[in-house]
Each structure stands twice: as C-alpha cells, then as structure tokens.
Amino acid sequence: MKRLVLVPALTAGIIALTAGAAYASQYIAYEGPGFTGRSVLIDACGPSNIPYGGSYKWYGDGQSGRMYNQPNTGGVMHFKLPSDRNAEQRTPVGWKSIFIEC
C-alpha cells in the first residue's frame, strides 16, 4: 500500500520540476557580430557576467533581464530586456553582466 502512495507523489514531483524548468528566459552572448564565433548561454537566476559582446539573442520566457555595463552587475542598470518578448542585436553591445529576475 505504501508503494502505491509514493509512486504518484514522486511522479507529481518530477512533473512539477520539469514544467518549471521549461519556462526560463535565455540570453545568448556571441563572440562576433552577426551571431558568429563562440557563444555562451546564460539562463540562471540572479547575476551573471557576460564573456562576449559581439552580438546577442534574448528569449524572454517569463523572466526579465537587467543589463549592466560593468561586471558583477555593478553600477546602474543600463537596459531591461522584456520577460515576454524576444530581442536580438547583430552588432556589438557594451553589456558586461546581466541579472535575470526570477
């Protein structure tokens, strides 16, 4: 009897975790202009440094992205990427860090 109770509870927990992970905004930084060269995906909540500034793509899927011109989200916020829309720029940007609001 206990086994039947645990299996649905574990299944419900796995489904809840999977559903939550599916909706996270993503910032992709590219080394070169026009989305070329090496790239890095940033999708963690909180502050992250951006190693490349050649171009970027943003996939807004529930969280906003606050952009900073200094590493470690220092100084004042320069721009805010939307939580409900995608954005991109093919030319270089000066952003050095991002804070994804979760």
pLDDT in tens, 12-60: 444 344 344 445 899 999 999 999 999 999 999 999 999 999 999 999 9
CATH of the domain at 74: 2.60.20.30
Could you tell me the residue range of the domain that residue 60 belongs to? 24-100
> How far apart (Å, rounded) are the C-alpha atoms in residues 79 and 62?
17
Number of domains in the chain: 1
Predicted TM-score (pTM) of this structure: 0.77
Decide: 63 and 15 in contact? Cβ < 8 Å.
no
Task: Look at residue 6 and tell me if it is in a domain.
Answer: no
